[in-house]
Amino acid sequence: MATKTLFLENAVLSTKVWRKSESAPAVADEVTSVKNGKTVANTYFGFLPGITDNAVNSASFIEGDAGGAHGWRTENVYGGTFASGNWTITYKLKNRAAYAHTGYIYARLYRTTVADPAVANLTKLNSADGVSGLISFAATSGELKTGTFTVNCNQNLVLTDEYLVLILNWKVATPGSNANTGVKCVVNEGAAEQYVTASFTGAPVSLAGVLSGSGTLTGVLGVRTGLAGAVSGVGTITGALTISTTLAGNLAGPGTVTGILGVATGLAGNLSGAGTITGILGVDTSFIGALSGTGTLSGALTVIEGGGEVVELAGVFSGAGTLSGAITKVTGAPPWTGAVYAVVYNLTFADETKRGQMTDAVNQWLIGREVWGQTAHISSESMDTLIARFAGKDDMDACLTFVETQRATIPSESGTSHKHFCGHACGQSCRVIEET
């Protein structure tokens, strides 16, 4: 499981609805603003994307108007489950004019199947509004205020091809002394204006059928869970075949794979027949299948070994084919020459005592074990982070077990821990092996 980071952008999706996406923008936009003037305390003004000096207000949270909802909507729909927990919003506000005043940002999260939703199309996710701390502007035009706050989504949220919508309001605490008092909502700068969701698990997707015949697949075939079928016949895959979990089927016949076959966990199938692989076959964990027949492997087969943990090559190269590239086993010495294993956890505790107990327990456990780089880094903030890099997989497994055991006796308010495979120096991507 992993969180999603969604950036608030200025790309227009519809009237008063702008885009939030997983790609970070870089150019600030401060068009969106409210002009609250001398309006009394506890009055709400909606931040309407693309609308300057909005003066429409209410005694309660504003979701939209007759023209529809207003806020930031995801670019694409999501299918999967967001775990119950806090969603963290990062904001930047700018004082509209040189008048002192104070207030709060209020936030609500919604789901919808409608791309340009009316208020009636929204389903609220959080039972209580997310609220920032008190934001105080001095009598300085252009003064910037930044910060974070959380919105608690206190349910497991299961989405089926649905959008996420964020709506923001400004609530007056202390009115300004002049009619030109107001606030600009800055967006489109990336991490400065974003929100991070609770853990997300994508809906399982699998290919259990057969792609066969004499057709051609020229794009990208991505299977998030498993390929249990067969790709066969005289067709051609000219793009990239990527399988996140396992390939248990067969790639057979006189076809050609000219792109990259990447298997993140295991290749247990067969590459056989008279076809040709002209790209790169990369196996992160194990290869127990067979490359056989009269085909040609003209690229490179790379097998990673990290910290004494051999990643297995147990396959068979047979037949009349030709291996014109290289079989390379990448090894390395600590700390970053080769691939390593790590345990990472991020936990939030209720008080200093529990945080200190966890810190002491983990540091004591790490003494005497073979680690790479810094033994542990545990922050003094409310969020405690351990990154322990091990030369061997067994120590990584044991460390995660220990952390989980300690979590049972030293409870945390929230957080996750996971095993992690690092392979930067080998040209491999890092990935979470197991998360709790």
As a three-state string, the secondary structure of 261-298 is EEECCEECCEECCCCEECCCEEECCEECCEECCCCEEC
Percent of the chain with pLDDT over 70: 56
Query: What's the confidence (pLDDT) of residue 306?
Result: 41
317 in any annotated domain: yes
The full DSSP string for 224-246 is SSEE-SEE-SS-EE-S-EEESSE
Q: Buried b vs exposed e over 301-333: b needs ≥16 C-beta within 10 Å?
A: bbbbbbbebebeeebeeeeebeeebeeeebebe
Query: What's the confidence (pLDDT) of residue 410?
Result: 82
Element (H, E) at 94: strand 85-95
143 pLDDT more than 80: yes
User: Same domain, yes or no, for 49 and 103?
Assistant: yes
Burial-class residue 50 by CB neighbours within 10 Å (0-12, 13-18, 19+).
middle
Percent of the chain with pLDDT over 90: 35
Q: Give the residue from 280, 308, 330 where a domain finishes.
A: 330
Residues 154-165: tens digit of each pLDDT: 778 889 889 999
User: Same domain, yes or no, for 234 and 175?
Assistant: no
304 in any annotated domain: yes
Mean pLDDT check: name the lowest of 76-85, 131-140, 283-292. 283-292
User: Same domain, yes or no, for 182 and 294?
Assistant: no
User: Same domain, yes or no, for 189 and 40?
Assistant: yes
**Structure confidence at residue 203 as a pLDDT band (50, 70, 90):** confident
316 in any annotated domain: yes
Query: What's the confidence (pLDDT) of residue 400?
Result: 78
User: Same domain, yes or no, for 198 and 229?
Assistant: no
Average pLDDT over residues 81-95: 94
All residues at 6 or more sequence positions from 356 whose CB lies less than 8 Å from its CB, including other chains? none
Residues 335-371: tens digit of each pLDDT: 334 445 666 666 777 777 777 787 777 777 777 666 5
Burial-class residue 336 by CB neighbours within 10 Å (0-12, 13-18, 19+).
middle
Cα–Cα nearest to 96, from 186, 13, 165: 186
CA–CA distance, 139 with 319 (Å, rounded to integer): 81
User: Same domain, yes or no, for 21 and 126?
Assistant: yes
CATH number at residue 93: 2.60.120
Residues 212-229: tens digit of each pLDDT: 555 555 555 554 445 555
User: Same domain, yes or no, for 137 and 227?
Assistant: no
How many residues are recorded in the chain?
436
Residues 48-87: tens digit of each pLDDT: 999 999 999 999 999 998 888 999 999 889 988 999 999 9
11 in any annotated domain: yes
Q: Give the residue from 330, 363, 392 where a domain finishes.
A: 330
| Dihedral (CA of 106, 112, 116, 122) sign | negative
Which range scores top for mean pLDDT: 189-193, 199-203, 414-418?
Answer: 189-193
User: Same domain, yes or no, for 58 and 195?
Assistant: yes
The rounded mean pLDDT for the chain is 74
335 in any annotated domain: no
Residues 368-379: tens digit of each pLDDT: 666 554 444 444
More confident residue, 425 or 295: 295
User: Same domain, yes or no, for 192 and 310?
Assistant: no
Q: Give the residue from 186, 202, 218 where a domain finishes.
A: 202
User: Same domain, yes or no, for 193 and 50?
Assistant: yes
415 in any annotated domain: yes
Beta bridge partners of 250: 230, 270
User: Same domain, yes or no, for 241 and 261?
Assistant: yes
436 pLDDT more than 60: no
Instruction: Domain of residue 14: give its range.
Output: 5-202
User: Same domain, yes or no, for 100 and 151?
Assistant: yes
Is residue 36 within 8 A of residue 56, CB to CB? The reply is: no
User: DSSP secondary-structure letter at 309?
Assistant: E
Query: What's the confidence (pLDDT) of residue 331?
Result: 46
144 in any annotated domain: yes
Is residue 195 within 8 A of residue 86, CB to CB? The reply is: no
Number of independent structural domains in the chain: 3
CA–CA distance, 306 with 427 (Å, rounded to integer): 13
Element (H, E) at 397: helix 393-409
**Structure confidence at residue 310 as a pLDDT band (50, 70, 90):** very low
244 in any annotated domain: yes
